[in-house]
Amino acid sequence: MTASTVHEVDGDAAESLLIDLVETPSPSGEEAAAAERLLDFFAAHDREAFRDEVGNVRAPADDSVLLTSHVDTVPGEIPVRVEDDDSDGVLQDRDREDGDSRVLWGRGSVDATGPLASMAVAAIETGVSFVGVMQEETDSAGAHFLVDDREAPGAVINGEPSGWDGITLGYRGLIAGTYVATSESGHTSRPEPNAIEHAISWWSAVREAVSEVGGDEFDPVFEQVTAKPVQIDGGTSSDGLSVEATMDVQLRIPPSLDAGSLRELADGELELGTVNWGTPIPPVMESPRTPVGRALRGAIRRSDGDPRLLRKTGTSDMNVFAREWDCPMATYGPGDSDLDHAPDERLPLAAYHRAIAVLTDAAGDLAEAADAAGAEADAQ
C-alpha cells in the first residue's frame, strides 16, 4: 500500500476535467495530450502520478482498490458542446438530479471518458489507486502491460459505461483470426472454386457450426457465439499467376465455451488455406455477491438508485484483468452503452456526478473493509 493524500474535488473541477478530456482527441495510439491533462489534474490535487513504459497514467496509492478505465477512444469527430435541454429525450428520470438537464456531447463522453474522469475524481477523494490505460479500443496494450508489471490489487472497478445505477458483471470472450488462401489463377468461366470462394465457403461453414454449439436463437445473445467477419480482401496476385484471399474474423465466446474448442471447430471446416489465430481473451462472469458487487450495490442504493446487474456481449479490459488477477472485480461507469462509438454519443452531466458519488462511496467502503481486515490480522 502507498500512502496518499485525500482531497475533496469540487463539482466545477470535476466537470472541467471531463469536458477538457472530451475536447482532447485521443484515438488509440494518440492519447498523449489526454494523458497530460490527467497528470495535471492529479498534480493539482497533490497526488503523485506518472506515465509508464506504454503510456498508462498511474497514480498508485491505497491498493485495496484499483479504479481503472481507458484513455483512448474510437476515431470520429462529434462537436463538443453542453446543451441545457432535453429536446431529443436523451435524459431518463434516473439521470435527472435537482433539475440538472445538461447533456455533454462529444466523442468519448460515454466510452469511456465519462467513466475515466469519474474514477480520477473518486481516486482523489478516497486515496485509492488509479490507472488510465492505453489502447483498449485496439489491442488492450495498456491492460496487458499492467497485469504483467504489477501484482493484483485487493479489488478492481473497471471503467466502462453501465449507467450510473448499473453494474456490469460479465463479458463474452474473444478470439480473432486471419484466414489466408491462394489458388491457381484461371479463366472465371472455370467451375473450380478459387481462393475467394473458399474463404466465403469456409466462413459460411464456421457460422453454421458455431450456431450449433452455443446458445440457440431463443437464448440471450450473451449465451451465444457471435461469428463476425470484420475485413476481407482478395483478387488476382500482382504476377497474375494466382488468386489470393484474406479474411479477418472474430468469434465472441460465451462463458459456457472456451477459445480452444471454437478454434478447433473453425479449423475443422477448412478445405483450403490456413487461419492465423491471435491470443484469445477468455470470457468473464463475476458474482454480484463479491465485495465489489456488494459495495457498488450499496452505494447505488444510497444514491437513491435501484441497482441493475448487467452482462455485456462485447469484451473489455476486465477480461484481461480477470484472467491474470485473482481478486473481486466489476465494471462500472456513467453513460448509456448503446451510444458507444455512435455519432450521437453524449452523457448527461447529472449521471456523471451521480457516478462520482457512487464510486467514492463504494471505493471508500472497500478501503475501510480492507483496513479493518488488516488490523484484525495484525491483532491475531
In 3D, which of 163, 138, 143, 136 has the Cα closest to residue 58? 143
Rounded to an integer, the average pLDDT of 209-213 is 89
Question: What are the tens digits of pLDDT across the range 133-167?
Answer: 999 999 999 999 999 999 999 999 999 999 999 99
* Angle, in degrees to the nearest 10, between helices 349-379 and 291-302: 130
Question: What are the tens digits of pLDDT across the range 1-23?
Answer: 444 668 889 999 999 999 999 99
Q: Pull the grid cell for residue 247.
A: 479474411
Domains with residue ranges and CATH for the chain:
11-171+283-379 (3.40.630.10), 173-277 (3.30.70.360)
Q: From CA 104, how far away is CA 176, in angstroms rounded? A: 34
* 136 a catalytic residue: yes
Q: From CA 322, how far away is CA 169, in angstroms rounded? A: 11
Confidence of residue 372 (pLDDT cuts 50, 70, 90): confident
| Cβ-contact 160, 140 below 8 angstroms | no
- Among 15, 62, 111, 136, which one carries the catalytic annotation? 136
At residue 228, what is the residue type?
A: K
pTM for this one? 0.90
More confident residue, 89 or 287: 287
In 3D, which of 87, 71, 74, 89 has the Cα closest to residue 31? 71
Beta-carbon neighbour count of residue 344 at 10 Å? 9
Q: Pull the grid cell for residue 186.
A: 484461371
In 3D, which of 141, 61, 82, 125 has the Cα closest to residue 359? 125
Q: From CA 278, how far away is CA 276, in angstroms rounded? A: 7
Q: From CA 220, how far away is CA 160, in angstroms rounded? A: 21
Percentage of residues in the chain with pLDDT exceeding 70? 93
pLDDT at 1: 42
Confidence of residue 188 (pLDDT cuts 50, 70, 90): confident
Question: What are the tens digits of pLDDT across the range 45-68?
Answer: 999 999 999 999 999 999 999 999
pLDDT at 373: 81
- Among 15, 20, 62, 72, which one carries the catalytic annotation? 72
- The DSSP output letter for 177 is E
pLDDT at 190: 76
* 12 a catalytic residue: no
| Cβ-contact 92, 163 below 8 angstroms | no
| Cβ-contact 199, 269 below 8 angstroms | no
**Cα end-to-end span (Å), the chain:** 20
pLDDT at 88: 58
pLDDT at 85: 67
In 3D, which of 39, 37, 41 has the Cα closest to residue 23? 37
| Cβ-contact 110, 347 below 8 angstroms | yes
Question: What are the tens digits of pLDDT across the range 77-136?
Answer: 999 999 986 555 555 666 666 678 999 999 999 999 999 999 999 999 999 999 999 999
